[in-house]
Amino acid sequence: MERQQQLFFSFACYFYCFLVLVLALLPLSNAIESPQYTVMRSEPGMEIRLYKESSWMSALVPGGTSFEKSTKDGFHRLYQYIHGANLNSSNLTKTAPVLTSITTQSSHESNYVVRLYMSAKYGEASPQPNPELNLVLDKWRSHCIAVRKFSGFAKDDNINKEMEALVTILGKISGGKPDSIEGKGSYSIAQYNASFRQLGRLNEVWMNVSGFAAEGCPS
């Protein structure tokens, strides 16, 4: 009787351990690669992240009036690039986020740059895009970014509000040092999920910042 019980428990334990292992590995197998960072400071509604060096394949969409339309245009070129429209004719590793950098040009026009993070496995040798896609590879040095998360869909009519909320929080925590934001009039929207996802969507506003040397950011 006792022996049977022992057997049962050791079997139950193996089964349980196996289940725990599978559950632990599941998210890993689904995880999409993203650029690596360390959180240097955390505040309600935003955090300061130190990103490692990274490479981004970038599509310039000049003189647009709509974030949504420009992102779609730029992403379409990047999508072709990772699905074989490169000089290696190979499918490239999928990554997140899709990043749209917005630089205001005038009261109604902005320049948009839509970017896709290049997997670290390509190192210095990302496959060359087909020339007609008009893409360029941007290399970013390690630097600090202020990040504010928001859910739902990133749209023309909500990104500005999220950007302004980030600027307000930055103004508060930098205590009257207004120069913490680099590249005035420029910010980025990071979108992590495919458009068919309706729920549990993650987006972020990004702004380059300086003046967080005390937190360990490079100056």
How far, in Å, CA of 163 to CA of 204, rounded? 9
Report the residue number, 5 or 89, with the smaller CB distance to ligand NAG. Answer: 89
Report the residue number, 4 or 29, with the smaller CB distance to ligand NAG. Answer: 29
Q: What angle do CA 169, 170, 176 make, to 5 degrees?
A: 110
User: To the nearest whole angstrom, how small is the minimum distance from the Cβ of residue 104 to ligand NAG?
Assistant: 12
Applying CB under 6 A, the residues found at the interface with ligand NAG are: 84, 88-91, 96, 101, 122, 125, 127, 140-141, 143, 183, 186, 188, 192-193, 197, 200-202, 208
Alpha helices in 53-142 (DSSP H): 67-82
How far, in Å, CA of 122 to CA of 6, rounded? 51
> What three-state secondary structure class fits 70?
helix
User: To the nearest whole angstrom, how small is the minimum distance from the Cβ of residue 11 to ligand NAG?
Assistant: 34
Report the residue number, 37 or 122, with the smaller CB distance to ligand NAG. Answer: 122
User: To the nearest whole angstrom, how small is the minimum distance from the Cβ of residue 168 to ligand NAG?
Assistant: 19
CA 4, distance to chain mean position in Å, is 53
Neighbours of 114 (CB within 10 A): 26
User: To the nearest whole angstrom, how small is the minimum distance from the Cβ of residue 8 to ligand NAG?
Assistant: 37
Report the residue number, 89 or 219, with the smaller CB distance to ligand NAG. Answer: 89
